[in-house]
Amino acid sequence: TPILLWLRRDLRLVDHPALVAACEAGAPVIPVFIHDQQVSQLGAAPKWRLGLSLAQLEQDLRAKGSQLILRRGTAQQVLEDLIAETGAGSVYWSRLYDPAAIERDTQVKSALKARGITARSFGGHVMFEPMSVETKTGGFYKVFTPMWKSVRTRDVPQPLAEPAKIPAPEAWPASDALDSWAMGAAMQRGADVVLPYTTVGQAKALERLHAFCDGPIGGYTANRDLPWKRHGTSRLSENLALGEISPTQCWHAGKGKLDQGVSDAEVFLKELVWREFAYHLAFHTPRIVSDNWKEDWDAFPWNTDETDARVIAWKQGRTGIQFVDAAMREMYVTGTMHNRGRMIVASYLTKHLMCHWKIGMNWFADCLIDWDPASNAMGWQWSSGSGPDATPYFRVFNPVTQLDKFDKHRSYVSTWLAEGRSNPAPEALAYFEAIPKKWSIAATDTYPQPIVNAADGRQIALDAYSNRGF
Ligand code: FAD
């Protein structure tokens, strides 16, 4: 009887334990992607980007004589329908670790079992599964460095090869047409603006990994902090988020370089483990995606009003703080933001502007093509102080001195800011082409004065912390 291979954030054929196991089982394999509530709820950019990934995966599967069956509905209903239609006796998938996915998958698993269907889940989305990493006293890690030290020397198995053949069923069940899902409907700027910044699918992701490991990885330690260096980092986050490449593939490529004496590769491995840490926290402390990770932060006097002028200025990249505005515009146009920028804009929103981290987290979830439920939540809570950071309250980034440090020659801000410049960069102008008309802002406007300047904002945040007894 056929096996249903339920694909979610594992949109690749290489290093795919569930796919390999299905192929080895000797039965026909029916790959399926379900447009369920979790897909419906995706923000505009990640949903559009997922559509690109599915289109590529359809092609990759076809090249193997297989197909991708697309269905819409609740996961359980769709799987049950497919089981009835195809006579499948089992469903395989790759495990996910964010709370919404766990809840769905647990329900699906028990419903399938109750009907006598085999449900098998596999690793692959992370290298160090959250339940397999524990502290010496048997707990989970709440701080990054000890987790890094504990996994650093572990043996990570080599990536699995792509199956030579994917056994096909005699007849394929019906599939929706991907176009009918209109994955880009909410993303007007997708095809015209963001598309050139994407790198879609497993083959291109692997090329990207190799290009990074053949050169830039050598200067990664210093360059990864410079937002104007577009090739200073791997830019693999959009691929990792959808599973177009596996963390194991990235780890071994980096490890290979380290073994050849490229010492900066160690820092790259460490960053990959930050992603693992994010899933570790999402698994062990699911509230990280929705509530203050540190519960005593519930008393913090954050603004939660999305219509507040501070929030609007921040989203529009019109705070008058160059580093913040450049980074917000970079995200709007490219669908990603440099990590330094993410830390600066998150710190400015939650500390200088005293706005709730959830407002920022949700805006990122709407704009990022590399949106990841665990890394985004961790990044926001780390930046706001409510999350897993040993020294949060005095870490108030100064967005002006940060610019002197990381964008000394102002290349980053001159790429992204147009106002008051005689010859704005194409990227800076692209931003104004991309934004909704109703924002009513133009490249010819005067650049705003800071809505909260660097020094005042720091004091506002520190006062709020000390008033609350942090
Ligand atoms: P590289 O520097 O090449 O690093 C390699 C990989 O390691 C990345 O692709 C990523 O998978 C992982 N990684 C690196 N840094 C981190 C980190 N701090 N946390 C978790 N994983 C990391 N990353 C996302 O993938 N999706 C998000 O939605 C996301 N939201 C963030 C929100 C905030 C407020 C902050 C501060 C960080 C967020 N990050 C997020 C983490 C980080 O900014 C990006 O992973 C990184 O900028 C991606 O660029 P890169 O692929 O070139 O990374």
How many angstroms is it from 80 CA to the middle of ligand 1? Answer: 36
Q: Whose CA is nearest to atom 6 of ligand 1?
A: 272
Coil, strand, or helix at residue 4?
A: strand
Say which amino acid occupies 172. W
Pair of tokens at residue 208: 């990207």
Average pLDDT (292-298) is 90
Q: Which residue has the higher pLDDT, 281 or 394?
A: 281
Q: What is the ipTM of this complex?
A: 0.99
Q: Phi and psi at residue 118, in whole multiples of 5°?
A: -80, 125
Closest CA to 379 of 429, 340, 342: 342
- Ligand 1 within 6 A of CB of 105: no
The predicted pLDDT at position 392 comes to: 59
Q: Let me know: does 224 contact 182? Beta carbons within 8 Å.
A: no
Q: Whose CA is nearest to atom 23 of ligand 1?
A: 375
How many angstroms is it from 338 CA to the middle of ligand 1? Answer: 8
Instruction: Name the residue of 126, 242, 275, 334 whose CB sits within 8 Å of the most ligand 1 atoms, as the mutation to test its pocket.
Output: 275
Closest CA to 265 of 229, 213, 222, 225: 213
Closest CA to 20 of 279, 246, 280, 203: 246
The predicted pLDDT at position 349 comes to: 97
Q: Whose CA is nearest to atom 3 of ligand 1?
A: 234
Say which amino acid occupies 57. L
Closest CA to 346 of 357, 333, 331: 357
Q: Report how far residue 313's alpha carbon sits from residue 73's, in angstroms, rounded to the nearest whole number.
A: 38
Q: Whose CA is nearest to atom 46 of ligand 1?
A: 339
Closest CA to 392 of 324, 461, 308, 456: 461
How many angstroms is it from 235 CA to the middle of ligand 1? Answer: 9
- Cβ neighbours of residue 246 under 8 Å, at least 6 residues apart? 12, 14, 15, 16, 124, 125, 159
Instruction: Work out the angle between the directed axes of helices 44-62 and 202-213 (0-180°, nearest 10).
Output: 100
Q: Which residue has the higher pLDDT, 410 or 397?
A: 410
Domains of the chain, earliest start first: 3-125 (3.40.50.620), 126-156+195-284 (1.25.40.80), 295-467 (1.10.579.10)
Give the pLDDT confidence of 149-177 residue by residue, as tens digits.
Answer: 999 999 999 999 999 999 999 999 999 99
Whether the predicted pLDDT of 391 surpasses 80: no
The predicted pLDDT at position 466 comes to: 81
Q: Is the pTM of this model over 0.95?
A: yes
- What DSSP character marks residue 36? -
